Structure 1
Amino acid sequence: MTTFALAVDAMFDDPNMAEDAIWRAGGAAEGLPVRIRYRSPEAIVGLGGNQFDLVATLIEVRLSEIAEPAKGDQVDVLDDDGAVRETLEVTGLSRIDARKLVRTCEVASLAPDDDP
């Protein structure tokens, strides 16, 4: 294992930097326990003289846990007691880091009645 892989694992294992979740490929009933990290970048984009504030919710997942994340996958974010706090749906795939350790995914929160 490389130093970079050890550093990534340390970040994901830190309770202050990552959270427990269940990854459900395609929204399937069964899922895999994973650790995720939230990222919420903001950007202001100009178009035709107007400015729009774009806010996206991104999560990072280790490729060692989920080798092929896909659009439509669902992620149940767990609270401290292990209960589902929020369900996210992967709406887009972003980059893989240079060392091929972490995938960034764009996600949207599902309302409780959106769940299958």
Structure 2
Amino acid sequence: MIDAFASAIDALFADPNIGEDALWKAGGVGAGVAVRIICKSPDRMAEFGESRAVLPTIGIDIRRSQAATITEGDLILIGTETYRIIGEPMGDALGLVSACEAVKV
């Protein structure tokens, strides 16, 4: 049954309307590894006492089969933009996808 889910995930990431090409640089160095990602751009609200600020963040889903060891501080290059992973990526229940939060550098 997990093969059916893995095939569905692969199809989503391969779809040119959903997934896109990127380069993952573990530790932010080296030539990097070509990966497929799915981006989400939800802004986050942070509260500081009586004030609130909108923090521009980007959510990046990446297949664990391509980036099993992705972690905080790694870089993702999408086109001409570079993003740094903040916090530890969260895995899905089947261990197929890591959901990462990133900021533009």
TM-score, with length taken from structure 2:
0.84
| Structure 1 gaps, min length 5 | 79-84, 111-116
**What is the aligned-residue identity percentage?**
38
Q: 1:56 to 1:8 in 2, by over 3 A?
A: same
| RMSD between aligned residues | 2.0
Alignment partner, residue 91 of structure 2: 96
Q: For residue 9 of structure 1, give the secondary structure of its aligned residue in structure 2.
A: helix
TM-score by length of 1: 0.77
Quick one: which amino acid aligns to residue 20 of structure 1? D
The alignment of Structure 1 onto Structure 2 pairs a total of residues equal to 104
Aligned equivalents of 2:77, 2:98: Cα separation in 1: 17
Matched residue of 1:2: which SS? helix
Q: How far 1:93 sits from its partner (Å)?
A: 2.2
1:37 aligns with 2:38: yes
Go from structure 1 to structure 2 and tell me whether the alpha carbon gap of 1:47 and 1:23 turns closer, same or farther (over 3 Å shift): closer
Rg bigger for which structure?
1
Aligned equivalent of 1:14: 15
Local SS of the residue matching 1:30: coil
The CA deviation string for residues 5-63 of structure 1, in whole angstroms up to 9 with x for no partner, is 00100000011101101111011121110001111234557776765545531101000
Q: Is contact 1:93-1:104 (8 Å) kept?
A: no
